Chain A
Amino acid sequence: MANLLDLLRTPRGRRAALAAFALLLAAAPLALTGYWLRLLTNVFMLAIMAESVNLITGFTGYPALGNGVFFGVGAYALGVLMTHGGLVFWAGLPLAGLLCALYAFLLGFAVLRTKGHYFLMATLGVMEATREAIKNLDPLTGGDQGLFFPVTRFSPAQLNVYFFYVMFGTLILTVGTCWWVVRSRLGYAFRAIKASETAAGVLGINATLYKTVSWAISAFFTGLAGGIYGYWATFIEPPAVFDILLAVKFFVMMLLGGPGTIFGPVLGAFLLEISSTVIWGWFPRWQLAIIGGILILVILLIPNGVAEFLRRRLRHAGLGAPARQGAAG
Chain B
Amino acid sequence: MNAVSLGAIYACLGLGFSLIYGVVNIINLAYGAYLMVGAYTTYWLFARFGLDPFLSVPVTAAVAFGLGYLMQRAIINRAMRVNIISAMILTYGFDLIAINLILVFWSADYQVITTAYSGRSLSLGGWANLPYTAIGILIACGILALLLNLFLNGTRTGIAIQAASLNPASARLVGIRIEGVYAMAFGVGSALAAAAGSLLATSFPVFPGVGDAFLGLVFVVTVLGGLGNVWGAVVGGLALAAIEMASVPLLGPSFQQLVAFSVFVAVLVLRPYGLVGRQFFAELK
Contact = CB atoms under 8 A, between A and B. Distances in A.
Interface of A: 63, 110-111, 113-118, 120-122, 124-126, 128-129, 132-133, 135-136, 244-245, 248, 251-252, 255, 285-289, 291-296, 299-300, 303-304, 325-329
B123 interface: no
Given A63-B85, A244-B212, A303-B82, A129 B262 contact: yes
A114 B269 contact: yes
Interface in B106-141: none
B96 interface: yes
A248 B89 contact: yes
B83 A295 contact: no
Contacts of A122: 265, 268-269
Contacts of B254: 132, 135-136
A329 B94 contact: no
A226 B69 CA distance: 40
A317 B262 CA distance: 45
Contacts of B262: 129
Which secondary structure dominates where chain A touches chain B?
helix
Given A111-B265, A114-B272, A133-B258, A327 B97 contact: no
Given A126-B265, A299-B89, 9 more contacts: A63-B85, A114-B272, A117-B27, A120-B88, A125-B265, A255-B85, A288-B100, A295-B89, A300-B90
Interface of B: 21, 25, 27, 29, 75, 78-79, 82-90, 92-97, 99-101, 103-104, 212, 216, 219-220, 223, 254-255, 257-258, 261-262, 264-265, 268-269, 272, 284
B284 A124 contact: no
Most chain A beta carbons < 10 A, residue from B78, B83, B103, B223: B83
A124 B223 contact: no
A288 B98 CA distance: 9
Given A132-B257, A288-B103, A293 B85 contact: no
Nearest to A287: B100
Given A111-B265, A248-B89, A293 B83 contact: no
A138 B88 CA distance: 35
B261 A115 contact: no
B97 A292 contact: yes
